[in-house]
Structure 1
Amino acid sequence: MTRVEVSLVVLSLKSLISFLNPHPLPPLTSPMARNSLFALLLFAAVATAAIAAIADDDDILIQQVVPEAEAEAEDHLLNAEHHFASFKSRFGKSYATQEEHDYRFGVFKSNLRRAKLHAKLDPSAVHGVTKFSDLTPSEFRRQYLGLKPLRLPANAKKAPILPTNNLPKNFDWREKGAVTGVKDQGSCGSCWSFSTTGALEGAHFLSTGKLVSLSEQQLVDCDHVCDPEERGSCDSGCNGGLMNNAFEYILQSGGIQREEDYPYTGRDRGSCKFDKSKIAATVSNYSVVSLDEDQIAANLVKNGPLAVGINAAYMQTYMGGVSCPYICGKHLDHGVLLVGYGEAGFAPIRFKEKPYWIIKNSWGESWGDHGYYKICRGRNVCGVDSMVSSVAAINPSNQ
């Protein structure tokens, strides 16, 4: 059983107790009370066995199931120094001065409290210590969130309405070979470029049958496309951009190179080194998908992975599970890739069999669910349905 699964067990136990026993049980002579008590004891035994299986210090750090009682929470933070040492070891963190170390320790403790809050507001996911736990929220936004806070142009081409009556219950482009491995943008706000290449990699696979990793660095260095009707909309390397602007750049420039021919550096201080003789893929057309979630699913199934904007408020502390927060803004600040959807049981138990989207992120495999994020479908959670684009690639053999 993985750390995340154990955390979900604990969350499920808490939810089961509140669900089955919102009020004191009637006397144990009541059949209902005996059945409820038996269910609670059985579930508690399973949870206890699972927790016992992950008792080492590192698992205690990563598990971080935040206690509900404030007194218990304060006791938990008393061990923060030990947790911080484990965090530094696990993620290879070091600081130049003692002053910087002490400052980051304070930030780390604040993020433990944030994880506790996120766990309460987003109980179907697991929140805790991640590789970003020594960053303030503003540092995190500046370094890792790079989607321009703009709306899609009013004249953007709309994707055609597709039939939705025969959509599969579960779908995942990873299983069909259309998704490259998880990449890492580093501390550069270039998420938009990874969302762009991910969508085009999938489209190129559908067009040619070949999966090719495409160059984000070309977009960071060379793409400065703007929406002429909106000020501040230009793609700006590590300072943000928009996926549709990037699709337009690839269309205008004639194509994009392979990752291996134009490798990623995570910096935007270099000059454009685009070599047209090494084009690996190009854009045929791109379009904006309807806000309707069935249409998003239909376009995903037919056209490949989709470029998506999202509000990343809960992603700094996310470790696994399905994120379905009670409260989340619709302000989009992060570009990601929608690769599939599913429907499965997850904690708390009352939310079982709830549908979710499968999101590929660009923060490396050590973040989230091996680099992926699951967020529930059905009500535009965190604005995930608000900015969705589909792209088609040209098959060179047909030119």
Structure 2
Amino acid sequence: MLIPHRLLSIALILLFVISTDSVPAVAQTELLEAETENSPLATSGPQPRIVEPPAEGALQSAIDRGVDFLLQDQRPDGGWGSAEQTKGLNIYAPVPGAHQGFKLAVGGLVLSSLVECESTLDAERAAKVSKAIDRGTKWMLENHERVRRAEPMAIYNVWGHAYGLQSFVDLYHRAKLLGQDELEEKLLAAAQIQADKLNRYSFLSGGWGYYDFDHRTQVPASSPTSFTTATMLVALHNAKEIGVRFPEKLIDKAIASINRQRNPDFSYAYGEYLRMMPRMEINRPAGSLGRSQACNLALRLFGDEHVTDEVIQTWLDRLFARNNWLGYGRKLPIPHESYFMVAGYFYYYGHYYATMCIEQLPEEDRQDHENQMAHILLPLQEKDGSWWDYPFYNYHQQYGTAMALYSLRHCQQD
């Protein structure tokens, strides 16, 4: 005799309740404690070899050259980056929306890095940077509201919203420091607009992604990705500190999405659609080297006690000890063609968020990691002063340089 599905479900629920009630209270407490403890895998991993601190003046020299590249590369309208320099194989980027999003993201990253480095520069270079920041800020304020979804499948605009938001926050702090009250108000309003855009494009199941392959609905209903969600959360955390509003329920859904993708060793699935394949190459620690830095940071900023100092240090050590797994993909023209399905554009992204992870540690625990970071990034600077990791229209040198400059600035011992 077949039991109707509804009756079978009720029977199973009753069985679970009865079996749970039969577990002694002490045992239930132990089970709960076990669930909240990290796996030993979270804090075990390879150790990088010890490296020497950078030579005196090496960091500032590299920063100066990188800043000079960005100054020379600023476009006549005040922004950075363009849809030029195409190649035989390009990332799908429907016009104009995709490129408007890319330009806002790149412009935001560059301005944030220039603000970060401004205080380290000599007077002549600092004056040039100040003018470039003013021109770039004007461009951002005039153009940021144009950025929106390119078409139902491609949602690249979220990168513009995140890095535009972060840049408005950084520029807000600068304006406040300089006593520019009117500009301060404009930047806060712009930051709120970009946060509202992130609200609009948040995924149905929580978090964010940059494609809606499955449904192409107004509220994206495909799979969010771990690193995209982490990127948005980091920007939103910083924005909330200056008074930008964002629905807490969407924050909670985004955090839950990242946690669903987290493996016991704190590697993260590429996206929720792959979370049931934790040993797939891209989801293993080597494939997660760049993503884990951003995801750990996002969860830590929003109070996740699982992301301890030890977890952060373990993943920083792994990044430095196993750096070639990211490095093999650097400058390859096809996304995900390298070992562990790593794409080139994760290289400076991973180091950028690793730098922010270092900032989460006590000061006495930072210097070795900063030395490792400088040891990796300094030799990769190009002859023209830029850094880049993936041939991406005319955006790659700009975002790569911006991310590398941020990292090197934080390697300096003030």
TM bracket (short chain): under 0.3
**TM-score scaled by structure 1?**
0.26
**TM-score scaled by structure 2?**
0.26
Higher share of residues assigned helix: 2
